[in-house]
Amino acid sequence: MIWSEMLVCPHCGNEVSLWDASVKTKPLSMSDTFRCKSCRTQVPVGACERALESSLDAFGRKQLTKKRVIARVHGRTGSAKWQRPPTPEDHAVLARIAKAKLPKSAPNADLVWGELRRTGYHVGIEKLHHFYTKRNFIAMATLFDLAADFPEHVRDALRLLVLSYNSSHSTLMTRVVLKKGQSDFVLTGSQSGVLYISGLPVEKNILEGVRRKSKAFIDSFHLLHGSRSTVVVHNSTSESMPLKPHSVDYVFTDPPFGAYIPYAELNQINEHWLGKTTDRAREVIVSPSQSKGVLEYGAMMASVFKDISRVLKPEGLATVVFHSAHSEVWRALAQAYATAGFTVEATSVLDKIQASFKQVVSTVSVKGDPLLLLSKRRLDRAVGKTSSKIAAEVIRDAGNGSLSDPQLLYSQFVGKCLQLGRDIEMDAKAFYALARAEASSGPMPSADR
């Protein structure tokens, strides 16, 4: 089911669904304005407040939340897909669900908000179950109850299967996307890295979704069946790993990128189903809500690299994937690994085919994640080049044809600075300005002129 928020006309107070006001067919599009049927005024969608209503949530608690109505129902009969407007039968089913009792194990868990809360679309969302329609909350709780009835050696695999579908597809964060050339909306999952609820959230069929998801799990088990290799997973802090000193040949780590993504806040959607959430006191992150700045982040990262150095063999290597548009975060990372006795052997850029949501919408973003190869060897570094000179060389060497992609060049600049042992003294914003100036003024003179 596609649900729709209700808009309130700023001129007359009449309510209309976002779907009816905005969605146009033949060709499919979403309009930024609509004509109010009550006062006949042409109204911008962005000028409308969203209607609120007081109702009982899944646990019978009074809740002020956004008013939503069914806009469209999608389904499948055999191999044929169909869609239709909601019917009285749909509303009767929802009325029956509203009276249904929850499974006893359904978690009545409080959310702990931090940087991701938005007053606009998180109205009334204070509990885990507020992220779900009641039907899908019942479905999730029932699946967890069923998993608990299976033999102990497969319970966690079943929970993993359900949770692998949950946060992306089971909540109100699932949404519709309008793609060019498509004759219908694409029903997709949630946006990564945020807890965004759109004005047209989608209620997917969890049972069908988990059934489809199970194929990947079944294929994986078939692939691994009979393998004689041993994999040991430790669920512990990277500041104190349960490993012997000098016992590891190679480390690959992809640590939190400063303030980039608040993982603990995001992970609540899955962790509350398991009954245990991340200890935010030990989360390595830059977070105003946790009173952690770059200084605190750097100190915690230093503890991580200290323990990596402890467990890594003297000749061992470590690869670090990192991403930031802020020079102070890069300096904190460099200080953390240098304090632990690491130097950069080589660098590269992981050029992702699909950027994350935050990379796409950030005011100042970076394309590609620099890869740093660290070792415990002491390397002699040439002294003399400043961060600004390195930036100029990277831009000059790229040539005019590559200056149209300064985001990728910034990642290359960062890698070169770190490989030469130089402090990164230039944010992405300043680097982009330098690249734009070069592109508009013509070729930059070489360093030997």
Domain for residue 47, yes or no? yes
pTM for this predicted structure: 0.85
Question: Of residues 81 and 353, which shows the higher confidence score?
Answer: 81
* 354 pLDDT more than 80: no
Domain for residue 165, yes or no? yes
Average pLDDT over residues 341-353: 85
Question: Of residues 353 and 300, which shows the higher confidence score?
Answer: 300
Average pLDDT over residues 69-86: 94
Contact between 301 and 332 under an 8 Å Cβ cutoff? The reply is yes
Nearest to 351 by CA among 371, 330, 373, 334: 371
Domain for residue 38, yes or no? yes
Q: Give the C-alpha distances (Å, rounded to integers) separating 94 from 3, 53, 84, 89, 285.
A: 13, 17, 17, 9, 42
pLDDT at 359: 45
Percent of the chain's residues with pLDDT above 70: 92
Answer yes or no: do 344 and 212 share one domain: no
Answer yes or no: do 283 and 347 share one domain: yes
Listed residues 224, 258, 275: the one ending a domain: 224
Answer yes or no: do 114 and 259 share one domain: no
Would you list the DSSP string of 212-263? HHHHHHHHHHHHHTT---------S-TTS-SS-TT-EEEEEE----TTS--H
Percent of the chain's residues with pLDDT above 90: 69
Domain for residue 243, yes or no? no
Q: Give the C-alpha distances (Å, rounded to integers) separating 40 from 12, 16, 23, 30, 35.
A: 10, 13, 18, 19, 6
Answer yes or no: do 106 and 10 share one domain: yes
pLDDT tens for 364-407 read 455 678 999 999 988 766 566 888 888 888 888 876 555 567 78
pLDDT tens for 291-313 read 999 999 999 999 999 999 999 99
Q: Supply angle C-alpha 439, 442, 443, rounded to 5.
A: 100
* 362 pLDDT more than 50: no
Answer yes or no: do 144 and 206 share one domain: yes
Domain for residue 233, yes or no? no
- Return mean pLDDT, the chain: 90
pLDDT at 383: 61
Answer yes or no: do 332 and 190 share one domain: no
pLDDT at 447: 43
Listed residues 175, 206, 224: the one ending a domain: 224
Average pLDDT over residues 139-167: 95
* 185 pLDDT more than 90: no
pLDDT tens for 38-58 read 999 999 999 999 999 999 999
Average pLDDT over residues 81-86: 94
Average pLDDT over residues 101-123: 94
Taking the alpha carbons of 277, 278, 280, 281 in that order, is the dihedral positive or negative?
A: positive
pLDDT at 390: 87
Answer yes or no: do 198 and 288 share one domain: no
pLDDT at 403: 54
Answer yes or no: do 52 and 178 share one domain: yes
Distance CA 303, CA 287 (A): 18
Answer yes or no: do 303 and 353 share one domain: yes
Domain for residue 183, yes or no? yes
Tell me which of 20-24, 31-35, 256-260, 445-449 is least confident: 445-449
Answer yes or no: do 219 and 340 share one domain: no
* 27 pLDDT more than 60: yes
Answer yes or no: do 362 and 415 share one domain: yes
Average pLDDT over residues 3-26: 95
b vs e for 14-24, b when ≥16 Cβ sit within 10 Å of the residue's Cβ? Answer: eebbbbebbbe
* 449 pLDDT more than 50: no
Listed residues 209, 224, 239: the one ending a domain: 224
Instruction: Domain of residue 190: give its range.
Output: 2-224
pLDDT tens for 220-243 read 989 989 999 998 999 889 999 999
Domain for residue 449, yes or no? no
Nearest to 367 by CA among 395, 400, 408, 332: 408
Average pLDDT over residues 175-199: 89
Q: How deeply is 244 buried, as exposed, middle or buried, from its count of CB atoms within 10 A (0-12, 13-18, 19+)?
A: exposed
pLDDT at 357: 42
Number of domains in the chain: 2
Answer yes or no: do 205 and 62 share one domain: yes
Average pLDDT over residues 91-100: 96
Place of tokens 């050696």: 153
Domain for residue 240, yes or no? no
Would you list the DSSP string of 411-428? HHHHHHHHHTT------H
